[in-house]
Structures are given as C-alpha cells and as structure tokens.
Amino acid sequence: MTTEDSMDDDVFEALEDNPHLKVGEDTHQLKNTPSPTGYRDYKPPAEVLKLCESDTIEDSNQTVHKTILLGDSGVGKTSLLVKFDTGKFQPGNFSATVGIGFTNKVVTVDNSRVKLQIWDTAGQERFRSVTHAYYRDAHALLLLYDVTNKTSYDNIRAWLGEIREYAQDDVVIMLIGNKSDCGPDRIVRREDGERLAREYNVAFMETSAKSGLNVELAFMAIARELKLRQSGQKDSNKFSVQDYVREETQKTPCPPCST
C-alpha cells in the first residue's frame, strides 16, 4: 500500500493536464500522478467521452468490446492486465492506480479476431464516483478480490451492488480470486469464491498475475462469450462462461494451496 490515501481527491484531472498521460496508455503508467485540482470537477477528455458514448465501438475492422477491471485497491487489477498484455509481472512496491486508462488487445476465438478494450480502474474508494461513469457501456466486468485479503472478498457484495446499479443488466461478469500463488498467506478459500459466484450467478475463477495462472483464460472466456453474443449465436444451452472455465481449468492442474 502507498500513502495515496492521504492525497488530495483530485488526481483525475491529471489525464487532462499532463501531456504525458494519454488515454489508452498502459494503465500502469497512470499510477502516482498528482494533480492540483479537484477530481469532483473532473471532465474526462473528449476522446474518453466519445468512447463512453458509443455502446459498441466499431473501428475500421471490427467491433471493440469494452471490458473493465474492478475491485478493491491492491487486489491486482493492473498486474493482471499487465501480465495479459506483456506477459510480465512487476513484483515489489505497490503504487495505487491513479486515473483510468485502457489497453487494446486482440485475441483469437475459433479462428476469428475479437478486440477487447480493457479498462483498468483505480480501486480506491475516493475514485468510485468517477469510475461509475465507465460502467454504463461496459460489455464485460472482471471483478477481482485478493485471496489473501478477506476485506477485499467481503467487499465483493458491495461491488456487485454498484454493478447492478450502474452497469447494463446483461453485462458479462466474471468474479476473480487473484493472488492464488500466495499459498501460506491465503485466507479466502476457493470454495468461498465459488459459493459467492453461485449466489450471484456469475462466472468464477482464481488467477495469479504473478505465476500467470488462468490470466489468459480469464480474458479468453470473456472474449468467447462476447463474440457469441455479438454474432447472435449466444445460446445458453451451448455455451456458458462458467462451464468453459471449468473445462479449461481442469486441463491445467491447480498449484498446491495451503487451504
């Protein structure tokens, strides 16, 4: 954790004021950027507003599906995205995300290309009112907790409440228990994650941004679901994110856990 909590509530304006922070930059570049003004007055740059307005963005080639990473500060949202994007994991000092940004990734599902626009949000409470604005036109949400942090797990219910309030009813939701590599420090059992996911009827998996476990699978499962929906082939009898995740995770043996 950093001392971010003691900073002024005004960092989102950094996106406008700082020419080095461009929308669409890798979000880990948006961390720790102070700003002189209040974020309550923050107006996203025109480029961001345009992206938020369109329900489904069409670029010259194909549809771009908006996917947002959500969850408490420190659960590993940025790490998960960076691992998926670059294959790298940056261990060590944690610096909380300041601002919001996205990374475009193209994945292949059944021989066709699916474009994901993956938004990384700041998990800290003080940014919540700003990030709500981004839920509205999201097609998929990856909601993370940290298996070594019970509070981040307990807060999932509140996150799901916010999602119900601000996101579209048909948004695809994947609950993710991250840091599954932390065997001895694990507090939240896999079964607890599964139970919560069943209760809210959302897909679930555990990941590790450190080891890479299930990182690609998380995004692939989302991409597959979104592609099927877009093509009109979505038939709940034929494809379920959760069944797909279950089948794929059974192919990869789970590393030993302490609980």
Ligand X SMILES: Nc1nc2c(ncn2[C@@H]2O[C@H](COP(=O)(O)OP(=O)(O)OP(=O)(O)O)[C@@H](O)[C@H]2O)c(=O)[nH]1
Binding pattern to ligand X, positions 165-184, x when CB under 6 A?
-------------xx-xx--
**What residues are paired with 177 via a beta bridge?**
145, 206
Measured from the CB atom, the residue of 114 and 245 that comes closer to ligand X is: 245
Distances (CA, A) of 173 to 153, 176, 192, 236, 252: 16, 10, 17, 15, 22
Residues 70/144, Cβ–Cβ less than 8 Å:
yes
Measured from the CB atom, the residue of 101 and 227 that comes closer to ligand X is: 101
Compute the half-sphere exposure of residue 163: CA atoms within 13 Å on the CB side of its CA.
Answer: 26
Token pair, residue 235, equals 């038939």
Binding pattern to ligand X, positions 11-50, x when CB under 6 A?
----------------------------------------
Looking at residue 31, the DSSP 8-state letter turns out to be B
Exactly one of 44, 123, 177, 193 binds ligand X (CB under 6 A); that residue is 123
Residues 79/215, Cβ–Cβ less than 8 Å:
no
Measured from the CB atom, the residue of 109 and 133 that comes closer to ligand X is: 133
Q: What are the residues whose beta carbons fall under 8 Å from the beta carbon of 26, sequence distance 6 or more?
A: 82, 85, 101, 103
Measured from the CB atom, the residue of 27 and 117 that comes closer to ligand X is: 27
Angle ∠(103,106,109) on CA atoms, nearest 5? 140
# chain residues binding ligand X, by CB under 6 A: 22
Span near ligand X by CB under 6 A; candidates 44-52, 94-102, 108-116, 244-252: 94-102
Strands (E), the chain: 57-58, 63-71, 101-109, 112-120, 140-146, 172-178, 203-206
**Subset of 138-167 contacting ligand X (CB under 6 A):** none
Exactly one of 14, 51, 64, 96 binds ligand X (CB under 6 A); that residue is 96
**What residues are paired with 145 via a beta bridge?**
177
75 binds ligand X (CB under 6 A): yes
Span near ligand X by CB under 6 A; candidates 6-14, 36-44, 193-201, 204-212: 204-212
Span near ligand X by CB under 6 A; candidates 32-40, 42-50, 51-59, 121-129: 121-129
Q: What are the residues whose beta carbons fall under 8 Å from the beta carbon of 19, sequence distance 6 or more?
A: none
Span near ligand X by CB under 6 A; candidates 58-66, 108-116, 129-137, 202-210: 202-210
CB of 91 to ligand X, least distance (A): 5
Binding pattern to ligand X, positions 237-256, x when CB under 6 A?
--------------------
* Residues within the interface to ligand X (CB under 6 A): 71, 73-79, 91, 94, 96-97, 122-124, 178-179, 181-182, 208-210
